[in-house]
Amino acid sequence: MRCQCLLVGLIFTAFLLLPGISQAAHPLITDDTGTQGTGKFQLELNGQYDSDKEEIDGTGVKSTGGQVSTTISYGITDTVDLVVTLPYQWGRTEENEVTTYDEKGISDTVLEAKWRFWEKNGFSLALKPGIRFPTGNEEKGLGAGKIGGQLFLIGSQELGSWAFHTNLGYIRNENKADEQLNIWHASFAATWEIVKDLKLAANVGIERNPDDNAGNNPAFLIGGIIYSVTENFDLDCGVKYGLTSSETDWSWMAGITIRF
């Protein structure tokens, strides 16, 4: 049983890694096709706290954790961005209030490029390839231990005060934890500017489970708000709910975005 709970802890922290691969307008996971513009920067500081409960062989298991990530985007051209993300992550698992897993530290660094290659009448398409570098300690469940990669196709449609975004992605999950190597991702998001500088955001998505023995794939639903204090300074918060048993039950999210 103790080994099973330790495995739950490792898998729980692995799930924290996957959503951070394609950075979006926080608190959304689904990315949009927007870029920064030539020579411009964007700095994102995002935090997330996760809570999950389940029962294994009649024993209650509680997992908590989260991450704080720093993402810097730079506009190489008007339609191409270079994006670097470095997360700090922690996770804790308890079996009947006895701790079986408790680790924290820097996780894997992700380097991405976003290229908006087509746009017309408010609709645009972008490609976002990326590389994940094993800067986290895989023995502590904070990283994969190997270089991985991913490719996302992003579609965005703007209709007045509404915006809609779709992501289809493939993640090559090279790892030392015997997880599934080939991960697919599909998600959809919408934002609505209800008043000037204040947007409501919603997001739904599903991803292939990296655990081959899991009974289902993790699926999520997010609701949140984005407030633009100024043209170049945003505050946001949101809540993520797990739609399937393999997804984290609840996540509370908050972030700051600065453009310069």
For 209, which DSSP code? -
Rounded CA-CA distance 201/122 in Å is 19
pLDDT tens series, the chain, 260 aa: 444 444 455 555 555 555 445 557 899 999 999 999 999 999 999 999 999 998 877 788 999 999 999 999 999 999 999 999 999 999 999 998 899 999 999 999 999 999 999 999 999 999 999 999 999 999 999 999 999 999 999 999 999 999 999 999 999 999 999 999 999 999 999 999 999 999 999 999 999 999 988 889 999 999 999 999 999 999 999 999 999 999 999 999 999 999 99
End-to-end Cα, the chain, rounded Å? 51
Element (H, E) at 213: none
> Which residues sit opposite 165 in a β-bridge?
156, 189
Q: pLDDT of 154-191, one tens digit each?
A: 999 999 999 999 999 999 999 999 999 999 999 999 99
Q: pLDDT of 98-122, one tens digit each?
A: 999 999 999 999 999 999 999 999 9
CB atoms within 10 A of CB 88: 16
DSSP code per residue over 15-76:
HHHGGGSS--STT-SS--S----TT-EEEEEEEEEEEEEEEETTEEEEEEEEEEEEEEEEEE
Nearest residue to 86 (alpha-carbon basis) of 130, 136, 40: 136
Residues in the chain: 260
Q: Over the range 186-208, which residues count as b (16 or more CB within 10 Å of their CB) and which as e?
A: ebebbbeeeeeeebebbbbbbbb
Cβ distance 47 to 257 under 8 Å? no
Q: pLDDT of 48-62, one tens digit each?
A: 999 999 887 778 899
Q: Strand, coil or helix: what is 214?
A: coil
**Which domains does the chain possess?**
2-259 (2.40.160.40)
Please report the pLDDT score of residue 60 as a whole number.
Answer: 87
Rounded CA-CA distance 19/30 in Å is 9
Q: Strand, coil or helix: what is 111?
A: strand
Bond preceding residue 27 cis, omega within 30 of 0 = yes
Please report the pLDDT score of residue 19 as a whole number.
Answer: 46
C-alpha pair distances (Å), 195 with each of 62, 156, 162: 40, 21, 12
Please report the pLDDT score of residue 10 as a whole number.
Answer: 52
Residue written as token pair 């209030």: 97
